[in-house]
Amino acid sequence: MRQLIQTLLVTMLLSLIVPGEAAAQCKGFAKSLCKKELGAYLHDGNYHAAVLVEGEEAELYKTFYSDLEYRLVICSADGMPAVEFTVYDATGKVLYSNKDEGLAKIWDFRLESSQQLKVVVKVTTFGTRDQLPVSGCVAIMFGFKAK
């Protein structure tokens, strides 16, 4: 009985440590590999990254200001399926979807007025059901150019 309790405690501890370690590795992935995709755009200083499984979706809300040029970059770990992303305004209107652009990883844009947008990312699937789903880091990076 005592061994069972010790095993359960170790399992619980590992379940708390491993997700934190994965998140830290994912942030490192965003810093080292994805940031350079911003090119001449200045990074906004935030690293938005998470471990996602194929078929999984995540969303992020971010405020953008008028009179600035922005670049949004999506990058994912090697071996991951393509990532779809859609940008919505506050009313739910689609401003951009990379499905219309061959699953492009970069979108450059400028807004006429300052507003909060919702970015939804979805990891597509490889389409094989006989294998375990693939998981890996997906990062969303934002950069801007001052006018």
pLDDT recorded at residue 128: 67
Q: Quick check: 48 and 60 in contact, CB under 8 A?
A: yes
Any idea which residue has 């965003």 for tokens? Answer: 30
- Looking up residue 98, the CATH number of its domain turns out to be 2.60.120.380
Query: Residue 10 belongs to what domain range?
Result: 2-146
Half-sphere exposure of 10 (CA within 13 A, CB side): 6
> Which positions of the chain have pLDDT values less than 70?
1-24, 128-130, 146-147
pTM, two decimals, is: 0.78
Distance from C-alpha of 105 to C-alpha of 86, rounded to nearest angstrom: 11
Distance from C-alpha of 43 to C-alpha of 144, rounded to nearest angstrom: 7
* Count of domains for the chain: 1
Distance from C-alpha of 119 to C-alpha of 140, rounded to nearest angstrom: 9
pLDDT recorded at residue 87: 98
